[in-house]
């Protein structure tokens, strides 16, 4: 659903939405690079809000 915050997850109980908001950072990442393998697997290099870099597949 690409929820940007737990508040829009109305199918979840309110206490769970509150816990998610307190526990996880829902800030978007910045995509710095993208590589596609021959089997169409994609790797993304992303920057987090704190400046850390992560690679996702």
The answer on pLDDT for 20 being more than 80 is yes
Q: Tell me the residue range of the domain where 25 lies.
A: 6-56
Query: pTM for the full model?
Result: 0.66
Closest CA to 52 of 30, 35, 33, 37: 30
- Report if residue 21 sits inside a domain: yes
The answer on pLDDT for 31 being more than 80 is yes
CA–CA separation, 56 and 43 (whole Å): 6
How many residues does this entry show for the chain?
57
- CA trace torsion 21, 25, 27, 30 (10° rounding): -160
Domains identified in the chain, total number: 1
- Report if residue 1 sits inside a domain: no
The per-residue pLDDT for range 44-54, each reduced to its tens digit, is 999 999 999 99
């Amino acid at each position: 659903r690409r929820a940007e915050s737990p508040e829009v997850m109305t199918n979840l109980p309110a206490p769970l939405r509150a816990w998610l908001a307190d526990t996880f950072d829902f800030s978007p990442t910045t995509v710095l690079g993208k590589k596609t393998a021959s089997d169409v697997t994609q790797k993304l290099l992303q920057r987090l809000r704190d400046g850390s870099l992560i690679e996702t597949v």
